[in-house]
Structure 1
Amino acid sequence: MDGHRRRPYQKHNRFRYLLLPAISAISGAILLLYFLLSFLAPSPDHLHHLGHHTSFHDKSIDIVDDTSKVSSVFKVPTSSKIISERDLWTTSRSEFYFGCSSASTQFPKAPAVTRPNRYLLIATSGGLNQQRTGITDAVVAARILNATLVVPKLDKKSFWKDASTFSEIFDVDWFISHLSKDVKIIRELPHKGGRKWSPYSTRVPRKCNERCYHIRVLPLFSKKRAVQLSKFDFRLANNLETDFQKLRCRVNYHALRFTDAIITMGQTLVNRMRNVGKHFVALHLRFEPDMLAFSGCYYGGGEKEIRQLSKIRKRWKTLHISDPEKERRQGRCPLTPEEVGLVLRALGYGKDTNIYVASGEVFGGNETLNPLKALFPNIYSKETLATKQELEPFTPFSSRMAALDFMVCDESDVFVTNNNGNMAKILAGRRRYFGHKPTIRPNAKTLSRLLMDRENMTWEEFSTQVQEHQVGFMGAPNEARPGRGEFHENPTSCICEKSKNKPKTISSLPRKASDNKVDETVDVFIDKIRNSYNEEEEEDEDKDGIVSNLNYFLNDTNVVDFSTGYEETELEELLSD
């Protein structure tokens, strides 16, 4: 009986001894798992930092009062400190330089060298500023060939879809008369036997120099009196004889004048910007869908962004698949509107700065622009400065709208470009020629890394590094060595230095030791930065591919209308060969 009673007790006791170790083991496992999760899970600060790395969506700018204590968290001050080292609205030593493009005594007048019955026609390509480059080079090409130039035809077939003629954008009478001493220019090809001549059409290679034109084009005039050069964009060498370079400047900076209608409306926009404040910054934002799709960059917009940009990229079936992270690290991605704003604030431009934005449709709309507006509330555009009725004559024409933006950017106290396309290069060269007005080009390769890592530093550290990295990218004299980069961006042959004796062009100035050791150190530092940067650019430009031909898409402030039937066969033309 006792044995029967003990049996259940023994079973219960044995079960209790087995249960306790099991409970302990499970509890230990849960506790261990908890510690592992706590250790591996990212902190809220890290998640916030990651958000700044990848996305411009759903973000707010942290702006703190200047009187608050500096913390390790990245905070943008409500106001910027005065930059004592430089004036925000002028460039250092700019008063010692001026534009000089007069022909030398060894450059004969056009009537003495122009051959009879030798006519050159060109067909431009691209948007307004790419065509402007082609027109400028066409005048020089006509002079090299001693030919009469027929007023250039503008591109009406590309996806910019602007049917404007030369005389509807530029003052054709001024163009012809102002260049009469350099090149004979006529409006139309003359008739022969009651019929208009049919020109022989050909294309010259890119960067064709004087000898190239003499070999490839000159013999054609013995067979045909009229020769047309098609797809005329960047078909003239960057480095030419000084007189030809100066002719380029006379065309670009003096002969190519917009029509009265464009000038009047453009000046109205400038005056209205002046009315809201003494100074203003013009920002060529270039953050449109076509630009982002073509660059292959990613901005953290998730599936929606990938889907939208991929749809546009399908238009170019031969477009290479890029590594977005690599493109970003190498500075080939446009900065976001917020990042551009942060750079400007770091350079000393306060929250009350008036900014004119030259841009088409910004990718992401207001959601993308809001962070920039938080940094700079006073943002304007031609659409906000003018009524629909005032813009009505220009709105249907992308080149005329781009011309208005060009005028405001040219007249601005400071011009900021978010890319290095045709408009940016032409404006940079023009602003150098007319007094070296500040032209800020973000040093994207260095700033991209800094911007991605900004949450790991204070605002003071960030601002200091931005100012250091921007040395050589502010539009000051002698930022680039003569002959480096594109001539339209750095027209050194047409910029002279004031001296007691006579003006000397920058390209002819001998290097001499500076009396000021600080200036000497800065000059060396600038040369080092610009030379290394230009070498990388030249390597890119020599590749017949995406980077060198990105200029077509960086061209203007208006976007592509992808709703229309764009032909894949035009890809090669879009990429400028």
Structure 2
Amino acid sequence: MLMLKNLKQLIFSVEMKKKKGERNNNSILLQASYELFIGLNVILWRKRHRLFSLISAVSGCLLLLLFAVSVFTPPPTATEHFLSHHLSAVKKTEVVESNFDMVFQVPASGGTLGRDLWSSSQSKFYYGCSNASKSFQSADMKTHPNRYLMIATSGGLNQQRTGIIDAVVVAYILNATLVIPKLDQHSYWKDTSGFAEIFNVDWFISSLSRDVEIIKELPRNEGKAWIPRSMRVPRKCNSKCYQIRVLPVLNKKHAVELTKFDYRLSNRLETDLQKLRCRVNYQALRFTDSILELGKILVERMRMKAKQFIALHLRFEPDMLAFSGCYYGGGEKERGELGALRKRWKTLHVSNPEKVRRHGRCPLTPEEVGLMLRALGFGSDVHIYVASGEVYRGEETLAPLKALFPNFHSKETIATKEELAPFSSFSGRMAALDYIVCDESDVFVTNNNGNMARILAGRRRYFGHKPTIRPNAKKLYKLFLDRNNMTWDEFASKVRTYQIGFMGEPKEVKPGKGEFHENPDSCICQANGLKTPQEDDESSKERKEGAEVSDEQQQQQQQPLEEDPDWTDIFYLDKELPDVITKQEHPEVEGFFSD
């Protein structure tokens, strides 16, 4: 019984331990679950706290931003004012960058100026007069036997023309027989043409037969050829100079050849000698029939295109620009290109190219010529004949002029290659064709003051004062620089003012001023009693308005040639400009700059 009792107690004890173990396990489980619950709550609380903190921070930033905007933002009117000012500044910048923007807009038409662009109202009161006076001795009365004068011309066609004209006068001064002049065949142009291939030699001899005896070649002396004495006279040598320097040699040697004969006769001579110059230039020097015929055809073709046309003599060759030292704002590319060409003249130095252009010594660009013409009243419908050589940068440079005047012509565009073939290899003959068209044009314009410009200006004065426009380069230079700072109307008004005295009007140059071939005042006569009072008043008003410009013009561009050399003639004038130093002559390029 005792064993059974002990066994029951043991079973009871085991069951109690088992139940106690289960209770302990449950307690542990409950404790773990409780701890897990508490942990989860802590984690969730922390997340909520962090999210709330983040939301609070963001909200605070937004509130601060709104406060700053409310404090520092200007009122709407101030913002509009700023934007308006900014846009205005942008527009102003755009205007400066473009020649054709809102302010400086170039019109297609020339406008209404109340005057005739194609003629001078005063020209009918003046006419050419070059007949000799009664006291002028004829050739048969004064020519000495065995006195023969020969000359060798120099330069391009028009510079050679001045030499031929002056040679006749020198022969008259020396009472000598003139041998037909030799043309320059060794200059830059390498034109092999002789006198008879450009000029009508028989007409030349016969038309001057009363003034000077002229022969085609030097005669033989007792079966032997004369050996002429070669010599060179100073620039601007007057009558007394020739009588002192040349006449003794002529009496001794009987034949003298004057070399490099250009601008070797004084600009100022007695009236009868000046009139002889005019008879040579305007009557005796006639081109050959073949040149005249094609020249006439070119003029007729221009007339078929337009009743009236402009002829522009445009000199803008790379070599010319390089030699002159002019700078046109093309940056390093231009400096490099022209600088490379300048290296051929090692002794030539230009210290201040910009100063040269400020002084009016540089030719106008094609664009500047176009703007000048538009400002003077010529619209885009006007036809232009352009006489030029190679233009620096070609079509790129010509494009602005063609945009302003699309009716753009040249001898190459209005004549066939077959028609030009007999002339195209000879620069002098091609220049003669341009000379004819420019002379016959209704308005002649030049961008330079070279020999062709001067010769044609004088001729057009002699034959009726046809409009001849030469740029007042010194004044226009500043205007072209500032044109984007003004309206078109302001620009055009200033151009018209500056050009008073540069339009080929009668009496715009004082007698005796300027180079004679440009201003042959001794050969222009005035009709008496033909002006009406109204015309007198208009003429007086015009002179008054242009007085300041005309006086300046006479000082800067109409002085005697020896005082006013231009770039195209610098080698021929034996002069040095302030910014140019030349130590020796360069015969290979002299003719290039002489036109």
- Give the TM-score band, short-chain normalised: 0.7 to 0.9
Paired residues of 1:285 and 1:418 also in contact (CA < 8 A): yes
Q: Is residue 311 of structure 1 aligned with residue 340 of structure 2?
A: yes
The alpha-carbon distance between structure 1 residues 567 and 203, as it changes in their structure 2 partners (threshold 3 A), is: closer
1: CA distance, partners of 2:146 / 2:272:
25
Q: State the match for 1:324 in structure 2.
A: 353
Paired residues of 2:500 and 2:546 also in contact (CA < 8 A): yes
Question: Which of the numbers 430, 442, 459 marks the counterpart of 1:430?
Answer: 459
The alpha-carbon distance between structure 1 residues 543 and 492, as it changes in their structure 2 partners (threshold 3 A), is: closer
Deviation at 1:318, TM superposition (A): 1.8
Question: Which of the numbers 386, 390, 393 marks the counterpart of 1:361?
Answer: 390
Q: Deviations over 1:298-336 (max 9, x none)?
A: 122233222221122112222221422212222222111
Q: State the match for 1:76 in structure 2.
A: 106
| % identical aligned pairs | 62
2: CA distance, partners of 1:516 / 1:257:
38
1: CA distance, partners of 2:558 / 2:207:
34
Paired residues of 1:421 and 1:550 also in contact (CA < 8 A): no
2: CA distance, partners of 1:412 / 1:397:
23
Question: Which of the numbers 394, 419, 438 marks the counterpart of 2:423?
Answer: 394
Q: State the match for 1:240 in structure 2.
A: 269
Q: State the match for 2:75 in structure 1.
A: none
Structure 1 residues 221-370: aligned runs within 5 Å: 221-370=250-399
1: CA distance, partners of 2:585 / 2:247:
34
Question: Which of the numbers 463, 487, 491 marks the counterpart of 1:458?
Answer: 487
Q: State the match for 2:177 in structure 1.
A: 148
Question: Which of the numbers 184, 203, 211 marks the counterpart of 2:213?
Answer: 184
Paired residues of 1:481 and 1:527 also in contact (CA < 8 A): no
Question: Which of the numbers 436, 444, 449 marks the counterpart of 2:478?
Answer: 449
Q: State the match for 1:549 in structure 2.
A: 569
1: CA distance, partners of 2:548 / 2:173:
36
Question: Which of the numbers 451, 465, 470 marks the counterpart of 2:499?
Answer: 470
Q: State the match for 1:520 in structure 2.
A: 540
Paired residues of 2:177 and 2:215 also in contact (CA < 8 A): yes
Q: State the match for 1:3 in structure 2.
A: none
Describe the SS at the equivalent of 1:223. Answer: helix
1: CA distance, partners of 2:552 / 2:454:
19
The alpha-carbon distance between structure 1 residues 393 and 571, as it changes in their structure 2 partners (threshold 3 A), is: closer
Q: State the match for 1:128 in structure 2.
A: 157
Please tell me the residue identity of whatever aligns with 2:569: N
The alpha-carbon distance between structure 1 residues 135 and 285, as it changes in their structure 2 partners (threshold 3 A), is: same
Paired residues of 1:208 and 1:235 also in contact (CA < 8 A): yes
Q: Deviations over 1:41-91 (max 9, x none)?
A: x96755763x67xxxxxxxx628xxxxxxx5x200112221220x201001
Q: State the match for 2:201 in structure 1.
A: 172
Deviation at 1:422, TM superposition (A): 0.4
The alpha-carbon distance between structure 1 residues 45 and 426, as it changes in their structure 2 partners (threshold 3 A), is: same
Please tell me the residue identity of whatever aligns with 1:143: Y
Q: Is residue 158 of structure 1 aligned with residue 180 of structure 2?
A: no
Deviation at 1:544, TM superposition (A): 9.8
The alpha-carbon distance between structure 1 residues 174 and 124, as it changes in their structure 2 partners (threshold 3 A), is: same
Q: Deviations over 1:214-257 (max 9, x none)?
A: 11111112210101100000000001000000000000000000
Deviation at 1:290, TM superposition (A): 1.7
Describe the SS at the equivalent of 2:263. Answer: coil
Q: Is residue 212 of structure 1 aligned with residue 232 of structure 2?
A: no
Q: State the match for 1:409 in structure 2.
A: 438
Paired residues of 2:472 and 2:553 also in contact (CA < 8 A): no
Question: Which of the numbers 82, 100, 110 marks the counterpart of 1:62?
Answer: 100
Please say which of residues 408-417 and 220-229 is displaced more in the overlay: 220-229
Could you say which structure has the larger radius of gyration?
2
2: CA distance, partners of 1:293 / 1:540:
26
Describe the SS at the equivalent of 1:149. Answer: strand
Deviation at 1:524, TM superposition (A): 4.4
Paired residues of 1:484 and 1:534 also in contact (CA < 8 A): yes
2: CA distance, partners of 1:355 / 1:575:
24
The alpha-carbon distance between structure 1 residues 538 and 339, as it changes in their structure 2 partners (threshold 3 A), is: closer
Q: Is residue 529 of structure 1 aligned with residue 561 of structure 2?
A: no
Q: Is residue 118 of structure 1 aligned with residue 138 of structure 2?
A: no
Q: State the match for 2:522 in structure 1.
A: 493
Q: Deviations over 1:118-148 (max 9, x none)?
A: 0000000000000000000000000000100
Q: State the match for 1:481 in structure 2.
A: 510
Q: Deviations over 1:513-535 (max 9, x none)?
A: 99844422432454543333332
2: CA distance, partners of 1:289 / 1:395:
21
Describe the SS at the equivalent of 1:472. Answer: coil
The alpha-carbon distance between structure 1 residues 570 and 271, as it changes in their structure 2 partners (threshold 3 A), is: closer
Paired residues of 2:267 and 2:560 also in contact (CA < 8 A): no
CA RMSD in angstroms comes to 2.7
1: CA distance, partners of 2:585 / 2:267:
31
2: CA distance, partners of 1:474 / 1:350:
18
Please tell me the residue identity of whatever aligns with 1:479: E
2: CA distance, partners of 1:568 / 1:485:
27
Paired residues of 2:468 and 2:504 also in contact (CA < 8 A): yes
Paired residues of 1:315 and 1:568 also in contact (CA < 8 A): no
Paired residues of 1:74 and 1:455 also in contact (CA < 8 A): yes
Unaligned residue ranges in structure 2 (runs of 5+):
1-84, 574-583
Paired residues of 2:154 and 2:260 also in contact (CA < 8 A): yes
Paired residues of 2:154 and 2:261 also in contact (CA < 8 A): yes
1: CA distance, partners of 2:117 / 2:535:
25
1: CA distance, partners of 2:271 / 2:565:
30
2: CA distance, partners of 1:478 / 1:297:
32
The alpha-carbon distance between structure 1 residues 546 and 526, as it changes in their structure 2 partners (threshold 3 A), is: closer
The alpha-carbon distance between structure 1 residues 289 and 452, as it changes in their structure 2 partners (threshold 3 A), is: same
Please tell me the residue identity of whatever aligns with 2:334: E
2: CA distance, partners of 1:361 / 1:102:
41
2: CA distance, partners of 1:89 / 1:571:
37
Please say which of residues 208-217 and 321-330 is displaced more in the overlay: 321-330
Task: Give 1 or 2: higher helix fraction.
Answer: 2
1: CA distance, partners of 2:591 / 2:434:
25
Structure 1 residues 194-213: aligned runs within 5 Å: 194-213=223-242
Q: State the match for 2:4 in structure 1.
A: none
2: CA distance, partners of 1:219 / 1:399:
35
Please say which of residues 193-202 and 175-184 is displaced more in the overlay: 193-202
Paired residues of 1:97 and 1:497 also in contact (CA < 8 A): yes
Unaligned residue ranges in structure 1 (runs of 5+):
1-37, 53-60, 64-70, 502-512, 554-565
2: CA distance, partners of 1:519 / 1:548:
34
Paired residues of 1:480 and 1:527 also in contact (CA < 8 A): no
Describe the SS at the equivalent of 1:534. Answer: helix
2: CA distance, partners of 1:129 / 1:536:
22
Q: Deviations over 1:161-185 (max 9, x none)?
A: 1000000000000000000000000
Please tell me the residue identity of whatever aligns with 2:315: R
2: CA distance, partners of 1:498 / 1:248:
22
Q: State the match for 2:56 in structure 1.
A: none
2: CA distance, partners of 1:551 / 1:78:
41
Paired residues of 2:294 and 2:433 also in contact (CA < 8 A): yes
2: CA distance, partners of 1:173 / 1:344:
41
